[in-house]
Amino acid sequence: MADEEPVLYEVRGTTAIITLNRPQYRNAQNSALLYALDDAFQRFAQDDDVRVAVLTGAGPHFSSGHDLGSPGVDYDVPYTRRSTWWDHTDKEGAERWMSHEMEMYLGMCRRWHDLPKPTIAAVRGGCIAGGLMLAWSCDLIVAADDAFFSDPVVALGCPGVEFFRHPWELGPRQAKEFLFLGEAIDADRAHRLGMVNRVVTGDALLDTALDMAERIGGQPAFGLALAKQAVNRCEEAMGQRAGIDATFALHQLSHAHNQVVSGQPILVSTPRRTARPAGDE
């Protein structure tokens, strides 16, 4: 809501705690939240006294993804300009959606992923679709034992969320199952697949993330920056950036196709899907 801060910023010692603060909408991501999150990450990046950031969500869920209809949805609000792409609000068709998502989703996630300081996502409850993009923008993921992860957007006629890290987070075959079925996976399975670093009880989630942040923050800042860049560049050498670019183009094709067949950039009538986390059995 207009009188609330969509993102909270707190410093404890050398750690910044960045909290998504729309719990009444399960931390759905409207423009106000994403721009506030970008401001928080920029504040963190420029403060030499803060070494590590922990990203979490207020309330029982990390993030339900992109806001598709709460009272705070604001797709027609002009940008505050974080990229070199033109504003979407006076454009039509594919140009409108591509410029919007290049600014709000892919561009911001890439910037957060490349921050020179370490970041940790502390995830409880639902981490759905666009919520995955925020967690995947972080270097480490600590999950509460009630956390679950899903990207059900194939049911909306899309190939997956815009920051398409699925094959690198899950492996190709698991990524296909994750997308094709649209089922949620629980924290334990996400840990076995390598997407999550640690699983802890809900009561221990923030303390665990803060303990890791404090110990990481004791390392030389430049050494951490170089280690992070080394791993990120290796991911790119494995084809990640080219893969995300190609998938982003397919995502835009899906919007154009859906607009033709349904009159909306996402399919408005979707099949029923399983919401419970799926185990290995």
Pairing state between β 185-186 and 148-150:
antiparallel
Predicted confidence band of residue 189 (pLDDT cuts 50, 70, 90): very high
- Distance (Å, whole) CA 115 – CA 111: 6
pLDDT tops 50 at residue 1: no
68-74-80-85 Cα dihedral, nearest 10 degrees: 50
- Distance (Å, whole) CA 80 – CA 158: 27
- Distance (Å, whole) CA 175 – CA 83: 29
Q: Could you tell me if 124 and 205 are in contact, meaning their C-beta atoms sit under 8 angstroms apart?
A: yes
Note the pLDDT tens digit of each residue in 35-57: 999 999 999 999 999 999 999 99
- Distance (Å, whole) CA 124 – CA 224: 26
Place of tokens 């928080």: 40
Predicted confidence band of residue 94 (pLDDT cuts 50, 70, 90): confident
